[in-house]
A and B are shown apart, each in its own frame.
Chain A
């Protein structure tokens, strides 16, 4: 889930296992969601996005699930690899609400060999 303080929540998984990272978003009017990956010392990297007219979208090894009823977003990473170790955060936006993407503070994913 998302952090409310200075310490990021951490998810530790074994290499080869599936990872699920969760995000509770705040605005029921949000209709566009993005997942980003950020490695240490680098800028956020786009992973996958989803609009509110969908509840699931798949990419390469990643799946995003959207549950609008409970305002919950999740990122599933299949067959997690050491290169997946990073901070993952979600962002939400209201279409037509200016250019304000609201970012979560992130979850640290650690992949253990």
Chain B
């Protein structure tokens, strides 16, 4: 998947616990994104990054935070997981803001 590794691939957690998902890329792309995918919805952007320590919110950012301390790593944190955050999370990368995105294999997160 275009040099993108997401970890973990599967996670089951309890409501109220913190969760961090990791995205690692080997392509040295400037832009990185976190999306969630739910039945009945298209992929929805949570947060994105346009460089080290440069991040911005997407359309469904409430309850999520991100960090990018290195070009290759983009972390998504759920500070206090809720059942509504049960979803499949995808990381994506691109060379520019008007270029195609390449996606990772996804993380299936279940919040019980």
Give A residues with C-beta under 8 Å from B: 3, 5-6, 32, 34, 36, 41-46, 49, 89, 91, 93, 95-96, 98-106
Contacts and interface: CB of A to CB of B under 8 A. Distances in A.
B105 A49 contact: no
Interface of B: 1, 4, 31, 33, 39-45, 48, 50, 56, 58-59, 90, 97-98, 100-106
A34 B94 CA distance: 13
Contact of B97 (A5, A36, A45, A99): A99
A80 to B, nearest CB: 23
B58 A44 contact: no
A104 B50 CA distance: 24
B45 A43 contact: no
Contacts of B59: 100
Identify whether the interface residues of A are mostly helix, strand, loop, or mixed.
loop
12 contacts: A41-B106, A44-B90, A89-B42, A99-B31, A99-B45, A99-B48, A99-B58, A100-B59, A101-B45, A103-B43, A104-B42, A105-B40
B38 to A, nearest CB: 10
A76 B56 CA distance: 35
A101 B58 CA distance: 10
Given A6-B39, A43-B90, A100-B58, 18 more contacts: A34-B100, A36-B103, A41-B106, A42-B105, A42-B106, A43-B1, A43-B104, A44-B103, A45-B103, A46-B102, A95-B98, A99-B45, A99-B58, A99-B97, A101-B45, A104-B42, A105-B40, A105-B42
A42 B104 CA distance: 8
B43 A49 contact: no
A75 to B, nearest CB: 15
B33, B40, B58 pick with most chain A CB within 10 angstroms: B40
Contact of A44 (B41, B43, B98): B43
B102 A6 contact: no
B40 A6 contact: yes
Contacts of B4: 43
